[in-house]
Amino acid sequence: MVKQPIGIFDSGYGGLTILKEITALLPQYDYLYMGDSLRAPYGPLPFQTIYDYTLDAVRWFFAQGCSLVVLACNTSSAKALRSIQQINLPGLASGNRVLGVIRPTAEVIGDYTLTNHVGILGTQGTVSSGSYLLEIKKFFPDITVTQEACSSWVKLVENNEYATTKADQPVREHIQKILTNDPGIDTLLLACTHYPLLMDKIKLFVPDDVRIISQGNIIASSLSDYLIRHPDIREKCSLQHTVSFFTTGDTGNFDTHGTIFYGNAVHSRHIDL
């Protein structure tokens, strides 16, 4: 059996914040990271487009030999994962697996809140899908969930403006809105893998008694559990400690910003989807 890398996908850089935690916890595996930077942001796009783009990405990973792909993107997880799992996977490669980030996050969100009031900060696509409302209800029916679509935040990150004063107003506006909508919130989930880059700005506007949760650690430990529980998939994964990066966008940009997101040097190769 030819051993294969694990595929990690995002619309752009955001998934690197997840990959960073995955490689810290599970350094023994090989990973292919691919960001569709050319077509990001996905958040404002119609359902069908997000689905088509995500399916393009999944096909690409399968063509590279990955049999396990993690959609490290809430928007793709919300809008495309279920259809890909149910409609496409059986015809494409029934032994392959595609995982998302929403369910594993919903499974543990109750561990963070004391007031049982949680705020979800996500893209327009993630918020409009209602996926977090549905998934959290399954695991924690007593939790009140309030959502806020932070429409301009991904662009601030993709444009490398997340640390500038340009980010202050849009960050303040959405934080104030969600905390006004439910003053009982004690836990704010960054339900977009791009948002951890805005953490310093977000902290400026969030009171100290409200916890801010990013998904990296959660997804890394859920992947670790998944591989323990699925030896058939685990045994297909190669173990050479390598990470390769691919982007549909400009490699120079991807490497400069990706290095900040990932925390280690990133050298990407260009691909067309």
Contact 124, 153 (CB under 8 A): no
From candidates 35, 41, 119, 258, binder to ligand DGL by CB under 6 A: 41
The answer to the question of residue 18 lying near ligand DGL (CB under 6 A) is no
The answer to the question of residue 193 lying near ligand DGL (CB under 6 A) is yes
**Residues 218, 173, 80, 77, Cα dihedral to 10°:** 0
Tokens found for residue 104: 């594993």
Annotation says 237 is catalytic: no
Nearest to 101 by CA among 162, 10, 229: 10
CA 123 – CA 190 distance, rounded (Å)? 10
Report in angstroms how near the CB of residue 105 gets to ligand DGL at its nearest: 11
| Residue number, 48 or 180, with CB nearest to ligand DGL | 48
Annotated active-site residue in 66, 73, 150, 237: 73
The answer to the question of residue 74 lying near ligand DGL (CB under 6 A) is yes
Report in angstroms how near the CB of residue 184 gets to ligand DGL at its nearest: 25
Q: What is the DSSP letter of 266?
A: -
Tokens found for residue 140: 């924690």
From candidates 98, 121, 192, 243, binder to ligand DGL by CB under 6 A: 192
Report the site for ligand DGL in 108-147 (rule: CB under 6 A). 123, 126
Annotation says 73 is catalytic: yes
Nearest to 12 by CA among 70, 72, 60, 66: 72
Beta bridge partners of 189: 120, 213
Q: Which residues bind ligand DGL (CB under 6 A)?
A: 10-12, 14, 40-43, 73-75, 123, 126, 154, 192-194
Active site residues: 73, 192
